[in-house]
Structure 1
Amino acid sequence: MVAVDVKEIGAKALHLAKSKPPALTTGMIVFLAFLYFGDTSGRWRDANVLNRDALLELEIGRISMYPLFHLSFLHLLVNLVSFIPLLGMYESVHGTVRTGIVLNVTAVLAGIAYCIIMIILGSDTAVAGASGWVFTWLAYFAWKQHEVNPKITLAGRIPMLTWATPLIPLVLSAIVFPSSSLLGHVLGLLVGYAYGMGYINFLIEPSTNVVEWIESKITPVIAILSYIVTWVTEVEARQLRTQSVGNILPISQPGSSIAASNGPGHVLGSE
């Protein structure tokens, strides 16, 4: 593959959504807020937190839905601030429908791994929240950027391998939020790295024909939503993907300072 200017790809992606925000990303903000504020009794959350029983009892809903529920307003707020920019960048390059599919598959992969580990350890610790996704996307973008720029410098003087940059928010989140699930964050990272390296593409990447078929079935919905948000179609996204190696990650070229910080992906809450 031929490396291209990451900034150029980012500019094209932003051009798609310059007048209106990406559809799924916008919907995620509304949906996560609705699930938190609408669940005044905590009944929805309690029914969807992830623990080992979800796998033992084959509760597929819990294995895929746990990132949508949060344990406190701070938990929700920090995850939204951390996750939404990453999701928006991904959706703008990869398309709205494909992004939804990838969200679900990455949640399930990390969720199954978490349950297996909890079974082995004999622990019934439950987790919920979108920070597993935060770390998945940090790892994915970091690896893709690593393919273009293997090394960066922090503060203009500290060299670091590009793929390792998500380890900084991983450590920070463990320090600032000691009750968060370090295991959940690590599993999110591992899924993101695996995705970036292409090891799970056979699970995570639907064919372009499948995505276009899904879009054809929801054309009326796309038409309505396009008045208020940007629905990134598979055709638009495919044009960007064919040009993109590094995708979008706000980090520097080798020898320069970091242009923007990858904020901590707090908190995969634990109970």
Structure 2
Amino acid sequence: MNIVVVGGNGLVGRNVVRRLRAKGHEVSAASRASGVDIVTGEGLAQALEGAEVVVDVSNSSVLTGEAPCEFFKAAIANLLQAEAAAGVRHHVSLSVVGTERLDDSPYFRGKAFQEACIRASGIPFTVLHATQFFEFLLDIVEVSVYDQALRLAPAYIQPVASADVAACLAELALRPALNGVIEMAGPEREPMSEIIQRFLIQIEAPYEVVTDALAPYFGARLASDSLLPGTDAHLCAMDFGAWLNQSEYWGASW
């Protein structure tokens, strides 16, 4: 099968490419490194020639402000247009659990727009809603820290290993399109402020966590269950401790 992974040089994309190639499929990674810019559309038509399946794991390089919303709007328009011209038969997209509940956030508003365009495109699709990656905990720290402290909401999260998400996406790419959404999450559920505090202690980062129910999450105010999956979500086995013990953050020098 001829498969194109958009964002194929990123954290999840590299893993998806490797898994699909190991199964004998013809897989290419489309990214700026390969001359493809999905925001401008440059190189997309050439990258998608002969593609049967597209797996989109692209993401905005900027996570705050209006930039992510603009990224997703421009990228999905160009990508779906190129897929239609190439005759792509299955669009697989990675999104986030809770996207439809966080319209106050430009990031999630952009993701919701992306999903709406996919549904309306006429191209068979599967959308995977994953909870926050364990690897994303550091991004939460970086956008929340101010003067050695982080103000974080006590809303619950149920983070998942990016490797588990990549394995699921690779499997979905080889299956018939669902024309719907499935959810996946990690095995542990706890307040964001608590797991971030645990993460910081484990990696010996010099920050203090302050629990604040009004603290925004990428521009959105969170209810206790805003980021949690439904009861039908697929739950993965790797927990925080197992992930941390094999991660690059273990023993990091801060």
- Please identify which structure carries the higher helix content: 1
Asked which structure has the greater RCO (Cα within 8 Å, sep 6+), the reply is: 1
- Please identify which structure carries the higher strand content: 2
